[in-house]
Chains A and B, each alone.
Chain A
Amino acid sequence: MKANTYNYKRVYVWELPVRIFHWTTVISMAVLITTGFVIADPPAINSSSEAFNSYWFGTVRLFHFSAAFILIANLLFRIYWAFAGNRFANWRNFIPYTKKGIQNILYVLKVDIFLQKDKKHKLSDISIGHNYLAAFSYTIMTLFFVIQVITGLGLYADNSSWWLPKMFHFVVPLLGGDIKVRYIHHIFTWLFLVFILIHVYLVLYHDYVEARGEVSAMVSGFKFVRAERIKETEEEIIEKTEKQMWNGDTEDE
């Protein structure tokens, strides 16, 4: 067996705004899903205290609504960042409209989902940021978010005097009543849970198989990329060669 590991270079993939977006989503989603299920089926904590003394269910709803507004702002920011951010955050990653994108999806399906052998070993097949399949799943997730936001604000509209939720007054009659809207809102919560499970699993999978910092990337922002994929400047190449010339055969020791 070859005695060397590959040379890896650190690439700044996830900028700070992207990481903040990711973890804000995680936290607000956690709050939304938990409080959402509590609101759908509240636990019976029936004490002997009178109603004027407590307000916990009202507080749960308050958390739900607050987290929802944070999520909305967060989402709008990310859409802005899809145009302002670096190449890995760009919106083009999220819609597989190019030949390259479709081929990458097929590659990921073959190698990572159905675990076939990667016979060609083409370096460019390995994604640096999102692979196109993952990115496309986030596009679908964004659609789910939009549905949740629309149904949520539709349900909220009547509680509110603010113009933003009030704009969504049309949702309830359009979808055939509050019950239906609530139902859609509930079903999509489950789909989010399924997404989270698959998403976390696949991140762990990539880290386990590829070992190039998939998990920690969302904390540090860096991923490790094979040195061959990084363009070297002329000076760098000269420097490298000179180093080898001077050091001679030290590397073989």
Chain B
Amino acid sequence: MKNSVKKEETYYESIIKQGYTRREFIKFATYMTAFMGLKFSAVGQIMEALETKKRIPVIWEHFQECTGCSESFIRSDHPLVADLIFDHISLDYTDTLMAAAGHNAEEAKQASMKENYGKYILVVEGAIPTKNNGVYCTIAGRTAVDIIKESAEGAAAIITFGSCSSYGGVQAASPNPTGSVPVDKIIKNKPIIKVPGCPPISEVMTAIVLHYATFETLPELDSQGRPKQFYGKRVHDSCYRRPYFDAGLFVESFDSEEAKKGYCLYKMGCRGPVTYNSCGTTGWNNGVSFPVKSGYPCIGCSENNFWDNSPFYKRLENIPGTSIEATADKIGKIILGTAAAGAAAHTIATNVLKKKELKENECMGEINENRIKE
């Protein structure tokens, strides 16, 4: 990877060097401004930052992951978005995409970390196993726990890219055999920006890096540590099928007439109402589509523990520790039925055991009845 060569260049210089025109550069700045939810007049600010600021080095660590986040990232819709990170923001180290291998790669990382101590942004993809001293994920003979501690030390900020590094993801799903934890369980003293999603939307990362480059602060985060401008709304609230929800027009099975008509997927277990992400507004693949638009219910991939909230196509999850299909409704019905049976049994028992008292009441009442003054 071309790392130390372009260290002193500004973003703009390297963008132009790559063969992009100024017009493309302005288009990109405008696009990113809109994407970041900034006001239109901020375009100038973004451009100025790109023209004058030095590139921020990025180190990208991969741990327990499927590389899907990287895949999502390299497919970001604006060509400059990917280029910005890979060539211009200078991705100094990423296992999957760098040209160097073996000792060379590790050396390059060490060099970059030393050179940019306190300045680089650390991107983490994948969860970190902690069981048995973290042997379940080792790179170059060292455990993930070890590596993350080292790389986090000199980082200005950490972006946890994807649900695994943000929440633990699939390997932290019950029963979590390798004891996987998200980054914030290990690193406590660095600002962590969570970008959950399986995979997350790629532009979000570019936006965070750009935000950092422009304003020299991190974007505003919500209570769960996610950037507010991308995770402030539920998928449900920006869903184009929302009118069907309010009108009570629901899909009840795939391949049905209702599904064809594009009704709301709420009854198909859509997690849109409980999922915070911006799929509905940004879309995927150049804004072409997102799951709901393709007729598939949201599975809430950017939510904590989403794997454990199964089954995906039902509104209610199973109760943990019970047999396969025990939902709250089933158990509720059983408890209610038991209570009703109990009440019925109690009625019978009352009539038997309190017979004397009841009889007494009745007799007394009858006597009084006969004594009513005419």
Interface residues of A (CB under 8 A from B): 1-5, 40-42, 44-47, 49, 51-58, 60, 113, 115-117, 158, 169-170, 173, 176-179, 182-183, 186-187, 189-191, 193-194, 197-198, 201, 205, 208-209, 211
Question: Are A56 and B247 in touch, CB under 8 angstroms?
Answer: yes
Interface residues of B (CB under 8 A from A): 223-224, 234, 237, 243-250, 252, 258, 263, 266-267, 271, 273-275, 300, 303-305, 309, 315-317, 328-329, 331-332, 335-336, 339-340, 343, 346-347, 349-350, 353-354, 357-358, 360-361, 363-365, 367-368
Contact partner of B339 (CB less than 8 A), chosen from A52, A182, A197, is A197
Question: Are A209 and B309 in touch, CB under 8 angstroms?
Answer: no
- Main SS at interface, chain B: helix
Chain B contacts of A177 at CB under 8 A?
274, 303-305, 309
A205, B347: Cα distance in complex, Å: 8
A116, B357: Cα distance in complex, Å: 12
Chain B contacts of A5 at CB under 8 A?
364-365, 367-368
Question: Are A193 and B249 in touch, CB under 8 angstroms?
Answer: no
Chain A contacts of B248 at CB under 8 A?
42, 45, 54, 56-58, 60
Chain B contacts of A179 at CB under 8 A?
271, 274, 300, 303, 309, 317
Chain A contacts of B267 at CB under 8 A?
41-42, 44
Question: Are A205 and B346 in touch, CB under 8 angstroms?
Answer: yes
A51/B328 contact (C-beta < 8 A), A4-B364, A41-B267, A115-B353 known? no
A53/B354 contact (C-beta < 8 A), A44-B252, A179-B303 known? no
A187/B250 contact (C-beta < 8 A), A1-B363, A176-B305, A179-B309 known? no
A187, B329: Cα distance in complex, Å: 8
A44, B245: Cα distance in complex, Å: 11
A115, B358: Cα distance in complex, Å: 13
Chain B contacts of A54 at CB under 8 A?
247-249
Chain B contacts of A182 at CB under 8 A?
274
A158, B357: Cα distance in complex, Å: 57
